[in-house]
Structure 1
């Protein structure tokens, strides 16, 4: 139980560091530190590493797609997803088999959790990182609720597949 609480707290600390890193990039040093702590605690480094990498790339692709659709407008001229937002996906992946594992079954629990909690997290992150929401706050939050009602159960399914196909050993 203490590790689950630590996992949740480290994710929250990482979330805050990433969002604030939009203005203070040096705060991104927290991410490798949090990932190192996570890997120190878990038994299967390879399995967790593959899952974290997969969630990082899939989540980054999703947020990049949403950014290019005009759901988010990041400061600056780049069409690329900011690193701080991409790294949030890696941090989220560290919770799927740990502090968020309780939400995997039944599937609707993850769907409800994603729909209710992801949109306010995006809104808070957008405000702290000076990201604008061109579609408006209500439309963006509703769209994110629908997306995350699907995303979190799918991420849990990915984690289950990762666990089922894992080879023994670190």
Structure 2
């Protein structure tokens, strides 16, 4: 598979993985498809890819756990539902591939995080049944600056490995 095919496949995987994770909140068997997709991604990727996925996912799960503890989110499972933890792995699987272009220049990643991060959370929360005790607007305003930092830092970390 050529580079363009790999990037297109990875971009499609990110979209499918997001949907599978969110819908997996209601139909947990879909999470097995996510695990299989992640395994395939790792099989097709460079040897050290799993480290990048693991570090970004652990940091992301810690961030979401803190936000949950602070009352930004209310999950049925504590500290995080499995579908959200898997979503971090799915996101991380694109950092060195189809999302890498966002990292240069830096403003692209900041803007994508500022707008895309809150949008993905709000849509995911609605579909997965996550409560937003602060309301949608306040939640988006809390998440926007966080994601304006998280996305560029994650991209920088991923491509430096």
Same fold (TM over 0.5): yes
- List runs of 5+ in structure 2 lacking aligned partners: none
CA shift for structure 1 position 72: 0.4
Q: Compute the TM-score of the two structures, normalised by the length of structure 2.
A: 0.94
RMSD: 1.1
Task: Tell me which residue corresponds to 1:22.
Answer: 25
Indicate conservation of the 8 Å contact 2:61/2:80, yes or no: yes
- Looking at structure 1, the residues matched to 42 and 58 of structure 2 have their Cα atoms a distance apart, in angstroms, of 19
Give every structure 1 segment of 4 or more consecutive aligned residues whose post-TM-superposition deviation is greater than 4 Å.
Answer: none
1:166 match? none
* Alpha-carbon distance in 2 for matches of 1:4, 1:12: 13
Q: Matched residues in 1 for 2:75 and 2:50: separation?
A: 28
TM-score of the aligned structures, taking structure 1 as reference length: 0.89
Structure 1 unmatched ranges of 5 or more: 163-170
List aligned pairs for 1:1-170, cutoff 5 A: 1-42=4-45, 44-45=46-47, 47-75=48-76, 78-162=77-161
Tell me, yes or no, if the aligned pair for 1:68 and 1:79 is still in contact at 8 Å: no
- In structure 2, what is the Cα distance between the partners aligned to 1:30 and 1:110? 29
